[in-house]
Amino acid sequence: MAYEFIKTHTEDSKVGVITLDRPKFLNALNTELMIELGQALKAFDADSTIGCIVITGSEKAFAAGADISAMSKFSFSDVYGNDFITKDWEIIRQIRKPVIAAVSGFALGGGCELAMMCDFIIAADNAKFGQPEIKLGIIPGAGGTQRLPRAVGKSKAMDMVLTARMMDAKEAELAGLVSRVVALDQLMSETIAAAMTICSYPQLAVFAAKESVQRAFEGSLSDGMMYERRLFHALFATQDQKEGMQAFLDKRPAKFENK
C-alpha cells in the first residue's frame, strides 16, 4: 500500500516496521498521518507472517506532537464534534501483536503519547520526552495525563505536564518510561533484535502476555481518558489556545490573558 506520511517495510518477513515520515515538520502528527498509521498497524496485525510491529521516526524526531498548524484553526465544536484524537489515534489500542516504539530525538506532546501507547519503548541516547502542551494553552489530549503518571509516578508526571520540561533518555530510563537506552546507531538493530525474540515465542502466549500486562496498567484508564479528552476539547474554546498556537506559528512568545 502506498502511503504519503509513513513508510513501511518488514524485517526477515517477521517484523513490521512503520517509519513516521514528515521530516520537514519533525513528524508532527496530522490526521492523515494518523489514519495511515492506523491502516499500517491493522495490515501488519492481520498479516499472519508478522509477529511484532515497530514504530519509529527519524534521528531528530520520533514525533514533535500533534500538528499545531492544523489544530490552531480548530474550535471547540470542531474537536468535540469530530471527537478529535479518538477515532484516528486509538487504532493502536486494537492491535493484538506487540508494538515497540523505537524513539530517537524528540518525542513531544502527541509524539510522547504515541510512544506511550506502544507496549514498550526503546530509546536512543539522544531521545527527549516531554508533554509541552501547556505552552499552547491546552493539555495532553492523547492519554498523556493518564499514561505518564502510570509510567513515571505522579510527581514527575506533574513536573513534566505543568512545567513542560523535557526528560532525556537517561532520566526516562531511570523513571521507568523506557525499557532500555541504546546508542543512536544501535537503535534499530537492538529494537529489531527484541522484536525477533518476541517473534520466536508462541503467538497465543504472546497475545496473552500482552493482554495481561495491559489489564494491570489500564484499570480505569477509559474513565481517565474520557475526562482528559473532554477537558482537552474544552480548551479549544479558550482565547489562550488560539494565542498559544498562533504564537508558535508566528515564532514569537505567547501573551496569555487567562481567557
Nearest to 234 by CA among 109, 85, 77: 77
Shortest spacing between CB 97 and ligand CAA, in angstroms: 24
Asked if residue 137 binds ligand CAA (CB under 6 A), the reply is no
Cα dihedral 211/150/193/189 (nearest 10):
150
Between 139 and 175, name the residue whose CB sits nearer to ligand CAA.
139
d(CA 253, CA 88): 31
Among positions 6-65, residues that touch ligand CAA (CB under 6 A) are 25-26, 28, 64-65
- 248 with 136: CB under 8 angstroms? yes
Identify whether the C-beta of residue 141 lies closer than 8 Å to the C-beta of residue 85. yes
Among 18, 33, 40, 66, binds ligand CAA (CB under 6 A): 66
Is 114 a binding residue for ligand CAA by CB under 6 A? The answer is: no
Q: Counting contacts by CB under 6 A, is residue 177 touching ligand CAA?
A: no
The C-alpha cell that represents 257 in the structure block:
490573558
| Contact status: 136 vs ligand CAA (CB under 6 A) | yes
Q: What share of the chain is helix, strand, coil (3-state, %, to 5)?
A: 55, 15, 30
Examine residue 69 and tell whether it contacts ligand CAA (CB under 6 A). Answer: yes
Residue with smaller CB distance to ligand CAA, 19 or 241: 241
For residue 133, report the phi and psi dihedrals to the nearest 5 degrees.
Answer: -60, -30
Is 157 near ligand CAA (CB under 6 A)?
no
Say whether residue 133 binds ligand CAA (CB under 6 A).
Answer: yes
Distances (CA, A) of 117 to 76, 112, 163: 25, 9, 22
Applying CB under 6 A, among 51, 141, 148, 229 the residue interacting with ligand CAA is 141
Report the residue number, 97 or 242, with the smaller CB distance to ligand CAA: 242
Question: Per rule CB under 6 A, is residue 109 in the interface with ligand CAA?
Answer: yes
Residues with catalytic roles: 66, 110, 113, 133
Cα separation, 226 vs 7, in Å, equals: 31
Is residue 68 near ligand CAA by the rule CB under 6 A?
yes
Query: Which chain residues interact with ligand CAA by CB under 6 A?
Result: 25-26, 28, 64-69, 85, 106, 108-110, 113, 132-133, 136, 140-142, 144
